[in-house]
Structure formats: C-alpha cells, structure tokens
Structure 1
Amino acid sequence: MVAFIKYLYHEFGLSSVHSTGWDAVLIILARCCRMFAYGTNSLLLALFFSELHFSDYRIGLFMTLTLVGDVVLSLFLTLVADKVGRRLILFSGSILMVLSGFTFAVFENFWILLFAAVVGVISATGGDFGPFRAIEESTLSQLTNPKTRADVLAWYVTTASLGSAIGTEIAGQSVEWLRGRDGWRVVDAYHACFWVYSAMGLLNMIFSVLLSANCEAEKAEPLGTEEAETLLDEQDPKDLDGRDSEDDQDIKKPPTTDDSSSKPKTESRFARISRETRRIMYKLWFLLIIDSLADGMTPVTLTNYYMDKKFHLRKSTLGNITSVSYFLASCSTVFAGPLSRHLGLINTMVFTHLPSSAAVLFFPLPQNVPVTVALLLVRMGLNNMDQAPRSAFIAAVVKPEERTAVMGITSMLRTLASTAGPSVTGILAGSDRFWIAFVAAGALRITYDLGLFVMFINVKLDQHEETDHSKRNERPVVSGQASDEEELREL
C-alpha cells in the first residue's frame, strides 16, 4: 500500500510540486483562490446584467470591452513585470481585483460597472485573462526544470479548475438561499457574491507578499571590461595586416558605420525575442487566435445564459451543473502531466482538446436537458487538459529570458482574439440565433486542434534550457514524443 501511494505521489506530479518549493505552492494557491472568484462570475455575471434589464447586445458589448481592457492592462503589466518586479505587479493586480469586486458589490449603473471592469480586473467570461497568468506561468517555468515543469503546470491548472468548481457551486447555492430571505431581491444576492470576489483579491495580495525573491526574473550579467576589450581586438582588421605604422591612426579612428557588430544595440522589448523563437511563435499565435476567438464566442458565462434562456433552469441547478463540469475539469487535468510524459506535449494537447471541440459543435442540437448537460460535461471536463502542456511547450521552445514577454504577448493575443466573440454572440442571442455561435466556435476549435498537430508534432524541445553540467549532453525531446521513449532510444 505504501509503495502504491508513493507511485501515485510521483506519477501524478506531487513530488514535482514539492521539489519546486514553497513559491510554487503559493502561486498555485493564489490562482486557486482567484479562479474561485472567477467561478462565481462565470455563473452570475450575465444573469446579473439580465436582472438589471441590460439588453443582450449590451451584455455582449460589456464583455467585449472588458476583454479589451484586459488586453491593454495585461500587455503593459507583463512587459514591465521583469523590470519592475513580478511580485509587485502581482500585488498591484490584486489591488485592482479588490476594487473591481467592491464596485460590482455596490453599484448598478452600466457605465460605472463597465469602467470598473475595463480599468480594473474583472473576469467577464470566467477565464483567467488578466495580468496574473502570464507572469505566474513564466515564474513557474523559471522555478522548474524540463522534468518537473509539465507536472507543476498541470497542478496549476488543476487547482484552478477546482477553485472554479467550488466558486460556482457556492455562488449558485448562495443566490438561492439569499433570495429566499425576507427583503432580499435576486439582484441583492448577486451583489453579495461580488464581496467574495474582493475577498479573493485580498488573499492574492497576501500570497504575492509571501513570495520570495527567487520568483523575480534572472538578470543578465553585463559584459565585463576585459571581455569587451578582447572582443574589440578580435574585430579589428588592422591587427591582422601587420601594418604597425597605421596602428596609432586606427586607434584614433572612430568606428565606421558599417562595423555594426561593435556598436551597442538598443532593442525594443519585442526585438529581445529571438528570430528563431518568433518563427515558432508566429504559427502558434495564429492558431491560438483561432481557438481564442471560438472561446470568446461561447464562454462559460454565455453558455450558462444560453441554457437559462433555453431551459429556464433554477440558479442552484445551473450552479450545480457548472460546478460539476469544473470539478470534472480539475480531475482530468491531474492526468495532463502523466499523459505529457508518456504521449508528448503536442499529442496530449490535441487528443484531449479535440473531443471537447466536438462537444461545442454539437451543443445546440439536443432539445432536452440531460443530453445538453452531457455535452457540456464533455466539453468542460476535457477543455483544460491542453493548458499545462501548452504552457510547458512554450517554455520549452523559447529562451528563459524570453518567457515572460512571450507568455505576456500570447495572453494578450488570446484575449484580443476573444474580444470579438461576446459581441457577435450577443447579436445572435438577440435575434434568436444563439445556436450559430456554438457551431462556429466548434468548427474553429477543431481547426485549431488539427493545425496544432500538423505544425508542431516534430518540433524539438528544451534546446535553450539551462541545465546543470551533468545534463548538458542530453538530446532535446521532440514535442510529439514522450521523454521516456526518447531515453529508451538513446539506451
């Protein structure tokens, strides 16, 4: 029995989380609490606006503009995070989260709520599109190594899904309980739930303060004086000609404009991403834009709204369904780490995400609750299994010093692509063509899955990873292969 428990401890990546250290645990707990708050939003936000008699068009517009605000805020904060300090940025984002929750708990005016959502940190779709995720994933990638990274990121996603499940369940039950009390309107119950959002932001502030300096970006050492002089000597063509009489003249001459190698280069933040990395990321970014556009059309918030309009379910029942779907997602993502080791990162991403995409495509077809719920459970249960392998894949194909910028740009592009989705769906919902959004989203998601497999199945991984001396002679892993298989081939 003890041997079996030890096997599970190592197989499901708990040993990787333990070996990574306390900082990884704090980051995982912070996201779990944050997703608890986002889980309440995924159930209540659209229903809250409907109770305030906002039109479907306004609901979609609100979510679109909120995502635009997330794009600007996330891009700015992630680009300066490594320079200003990752812990400071996480702390600042948590403050914005607290203020946004307070605003939604107090006000009902559309424009005040919109301002709080655009300027602050509010999850309009139930997803983690704020400034936190890119910084946290980059930090975890820095704290881990290629052997432990997929496992740690898998638990980062697993606990997030678990937090969303608990948050959704508590929100649904709380609304039903509060609305049954004397003097409580449904909208008052919704307001009360947003205080929980602020409380989770406060916990995130505490967790960010407890993080150690190991979470900060590693600073590149400047070129030493002796190394610079040696480099200039090697680049001086006069030293090779033996013409001593011109040495003094050469020393006095300023460097020519053609000798660009001896000039210090001023680079933009985007230019610091190597050309090799950009060649890979351009293809991945294109596919992620397609996937994110689909997700923006059918987020959990609007999916709940669709089911409420179609079947007129009780809020507690809707909360139970969504909570179970999030719980299944948390259970399935536990297996993302082991599957990545045995199948490879790309195979795990594609083969787990494809059934979820098909469930989105067929979601509008059933005319009864049980089959609709079954498709939702398939979609949500498998939807997050590609997240940890995707983050591990990005960390494995970029240089360590590029990770925060690359992940920030990736998050920005995904959020930007999602912005058009809610508005399109809001227009369709208002014209009784809500179902078209799910069909289009499912088709786009399947395109993403197939493109991912075709473009990246043979990409080499961990070529830039800084490992210890004893591991430097190991061959890089292929993205579509398992590391265990690679080691057996080498033996």
Structure 2
Amino acid sequence: MAFLDWVSRDGKLLLTARIVRTFSYGFLSIVLAIYLKLIGFDEILIGIVLTATLANSVIFNLFASFYADRFGRKKILIIYAVLMAISGTIFLLTNNYAALIASALIGTINVTGTEVGAFLSIEQAILPQTVKDIKKRNTIFAVYNMAGTFAMSAGVLLSGLPQFIQKTYGLNQIESIRFLFLFYSICAAIVVGIYFFLSKKIELEVRDAKTTSVRSISQKSKGIIAKLSSLFAVDSFAGGFVIQSIVSFWFFSKFGADLITLSYIFSIAGVLTAFSFLVATKIAYKIGLINTMVFTHIPSNILLILLAFAPTFPIAIGIYLARMGLSQMDVPTRQSYIVAVVNEDERIAAAGITNTSRNIAQAASPSLAGVIIQSLSLSAPFVVGGLLKIVYDIGVYVNFRKIKPPDEK
C-alpha cells in the first residue's frame, strides 16, 4: 500500500480488515436467502432471518456508540470479529431455525450487499485520525468504501463455487453451499488477527473518553444528528426492500439465474460501485457533499423502479448495473459529511446513532418484502423502495443544503 503513504499504519490495517470482512460478506449475501429456501424456509421465514441479521447491527451499533470509547475501540472490534466467526460456524453446523436466528442476532452476517454492520461506526470514527492531511478526509472514505466494494465483488464471484463443487465432487446444492460458511468463519478469524495489531492511537484520549455520551453532544450537533438519523432511517427502510439477498432471490426466481450467473452480475455491479466512490469524491470537491449525495441518488432510484418492469433477463441486468453505477455514490460522501459537521469527540456517537437509525429501519423491511412478494408480486418491493428513496433525497436537500462542512465554507 505504498501509494497510501498519506494514511497511517492503523489506517492501512483498518483497510485490510475491511477487505477481508467484506470479501466474506460478498459471497454470503448472494447465497444466504437461496440456501434458506433450499433447506425448506418459505419467503416469510427467510425475511425473518434476514431481519435478524439487521437487528444485530442495531444492537451492536448502539453499544459501540456509547461504550466503544469507554471499553476501548480495539477491544470492541476484536469482540465483534470473534462473534462473526462464531456465527458462521453455527450456520455451518446446523439447519435448526432457532439456532440460525440466534446466530444471525449474535454474529455480523451481512446480507445487504453494502456494509451496515457493527464494525462500521467504530472504523468510520477512526478514519479521520489516520490521515495526515485533513483535506484527504473525503478521499480516505472513498478509498475505504472502494476497497470494501472491490473485495465484496471478489467475494461475490466465490458464490459460484458451490456449483463447481456439485459438478466436481457430486455433492448436493445444500452441502456445497455449506463450504462457504466455513470460509466465512476463517475470514472472521483473520479479521480478529488484524485487529490485534492496531495501536493505541486509534483510541480517544483518556481525558476525553468519558465525554462520548448523548448529554455531552452539543445542541447544534444533536439537531444535525437527529435530522440526519430520521432521513437515513427513511433511506435505509427503503433499502431493506432491495438488499442484495432479495435482488439475488428476484433474479433466481423470476429469470431462473443460477449461482454462477448471479456471481458475475453482482461482481460486475460491485466493480462499478467501487469506481463510483472515486468519482463521487471528485464531484464532491466541486459541488459539495450534499449536492453529490442527492443528485447521484435520484437517478439511481428511478432506475430501481424501472427494474421492477424489466421484461427480459438481459434488460434487467442492464438496468441493474446502471443503477449500481450510481446508487452508492452517496455512501462515502454521507460518511464524510457526518464526521465533518460534528466535533471530533462526537464522531463515534454521531456515526453510531445515524447508523443505528439506518439499521433499525432496515431491519423491518426484509420481512415486509417477504409479505409483499407473497401478496402482491415478486417485483413490488423495487417500486416501494425506489419511491421511498426519492422522498429521502428530497428531504436531505431541503434540510441540509445550507449546512456545510468547514472545508466547504
């Protein structure tokens, strides 16, 4: 990582941990809903399991928001990674519904196609401390997200492995998919090891460690965090209807796409998304973070609605890939905006609270998506999600177009 000489050693370790972690998220987000269907779960039960994985993010983000600086950021990251390994092991060893729900609740299984889990709030707060020039703040968030998305794209390709195992070793589809849960646990163990090498520099100063609480957040920051949290909740609730596991299930059910084809689709989508982060950073330096968030997001949501009406598999792929080239450009800009408009000692709380609001809202959507699919149509969640996301975009622009980070004033 010589080209990242402006990033500290801790920053590079965080980037490496994110690469390994999101690589494992990539293949699991594709196969999980399909695996649950194969072992006999219906759409509503699948939605409940997916919801449980998102509920985990809510609980762990809240804990990180108010206790990470008290107990130590490094310790919490290591604990979360250990639980990630345990969760993958449970999925490997049993098909018991209660056990899988418990695993989804205690682990950090990611099914969304983008990271929303417990690690994000802590790492998001640390990242600005890892750059030597504050002008590189937007760039480190772009690199962080780009690295994760490239890794997730590579992981998505691995979701085609079960099909190869079936043909080569004669295992059935369920048995072949289980190998991925083993690999998921191995990746988690590697992440644990990486976190052990983080230095004390990632921690908040001892004299400031007690200040990370709701009471200590300034009134100005409280207002910003409250508004952002409300709007992010709308966006995330809408996003829950179109998480990667549901999109994968839609391609599988509507067009009969196999795992290898799905792995190619989502891998290409990931590459497009990764490059979009760098483009978003360049645009943000010219027109500002809020404008970049809004004016790249609205077109992507129009494409999401159009995806619901795609008549053929090739057209559906084209629309989906076009959408993915735009839909995540608000991610690094959003993360950079949050840490820029609050004080340094408020960053974990701000990131944690806004991420928690996203996770709480998103946790309900997969179950509702299952109900909507059964009662309306397989494509209906895309329309609902797209319309709600446009409402979010308008809300962000109206409320925050005049609240600028210090470097934009």
TM (norm. structure 2) is 0.95
* 1:129-148 alignment runs, 5 A limit: 129-144=116-131, 145-148=133-136
Residue number among 289, 311, 316 corresponding to 1:372 in the alignment? 316
Gaps of 5+ in 2: none
Offset at 1:164? 0.9
- Partners in 2 of 1:297 and 1:425 — Cα distance? 6
2:23 equivalent to 1:39: no
Matched to 2:236, the amino acid is S
Matched to 1:269, the amino acid is S
Task: Compute the displacement of 1:316 (Å).
Answer: 0.5
Check conservation: 1:41, 1:126, Cα contact below 8 A. no
SS at match of 1:384: coil
Residue pairs, 1:169-248, within 5 angstroms:
169-172=157-160, 174-220=161-207
One-letter identity of the residue aligned with 1:154: A
Partner Cα separation in structure 1 for residue 191 and residue 212 of structure 2: 31
Matches within 5 A, 1:247-396: 269-396=213-340
Find the aligned partners of 1:81 and 1:345 in 2 and give their Cα distance: 28
Question: Displacement, 1:221?
Answer: 6.2
Q: CA deviation at 1:66?
A: 2.5
Query: Aligned pair in 2 of structure 1 residues 182, 391: CA closer, same or farther (>3 Å)?
Result: closer
Deviation at 1:291, TM superposition (A): 0.4
Q: Which runs of 5+ in 1 are unaligned?
A: 1-8, 223-265, 463-475, 479-491
Find 2:98's aligned residue among 108, 111, 117. Answer: 111
The one of 54, 75, 79 equivalent to 2:41 is 54
The equivalent residue for 1:30 is: 17
> SS of the residue aligned with 1:434?
coil
8 Å contact kept, 2:280–2:329: yes
Q: Which moved more, 1:180-189 or 1:213-222?
A: 213-222
- The residue correspondences of 1:149-188 to structure 2 (distance < 5 A) are 149-172=137-160, 174-188=161-175
Q: Which residue of 2 aligns with 1:225?
A: none
Amino acid at match of 1:150: N
Superposed CA deviations along residues 98-145 of structure 1, whole A, max 9, x for unmatched, are 111111122111111111111222113333222100000100023335
| Structure 2 residue 387 is the aligned partner of structure 1 residue 439 | no
CA–CA distance in 2 between the matches of 1:181 and 1:142?
48
Q: Deviations over 1:390-433 (max 9, x none)?
A: 11111111000000011111111100000111011111222352
Q: Tell me if the contact between 1:179 and 1:189 (Cα under 8 Å) persists in the aligned partners.
A: yes
Structure 2 counterpart of 1:76, from 45, 63, 70? 63
Q: Equivalents in 1 of 2:114, 2:146: separation in Å?
A: 14
Residue 328 of structure 1, CA deviation: 0.9
1:6-55 deviation line (CA, Å, top 9, x unaligned): xxx9xxxx96x421212111111111111111111111000000110101
Task: Report what 1:18 is aligned to.
Answer: 5
Residue identity matched to 1:152: I
Contact 2:236 2:361 in 1 (8 A): yes
CA distance in 1, matches of 2:328, 2:15: 16
User: By percentage of residues, which structure has more helix?
Assistant: 2
Contact 1:94–1:202 (Cα < 8 Å) also in 2 = yes
Q: State the shift of 1:267 in Å.
A: 8.3
- Contact 2:10–2:199, Cα closer than 8 Å, also in 1: yes
Candidates 407, 428, 445, aligned match of 2:372: 428
Q: Offset at 1:158?
A: 0.3
- How far apart in 2 are the matches of 1:268 and 1:460? 23
Q: Kindly tell me: are residues 41 and 126 of structure 1, through their superposed partners in 2, closer, same or farther at Cα, counting changes over 3 Å?
A: farther
Higher Cα Rg: structure 1 or 2?
Answer: 1
Question: Cα RMSD between the aligned structures?
Answer: 1.9
Instruction: Give the Cα–Cα distance (whole angstroms) in 1 for the partners of residues 394 and 99 of structure 2.
Output: 42
In the aligned structure 1, how far is the partner of 2:111 from the partner of 2:403?
A: 35
Q: Relative to structure 1, is the Cα distance of residues 422 and 442 closer, same or farther in structure 2, using a 3 angstrom cutoff? A: same
Distance 1:383 1:18, change over 3 A: farther
Over the matched positions of the two proteins, sequence identity in percent amounts to 31
CA contact (8 A) 2:55 2:363 kept: yes
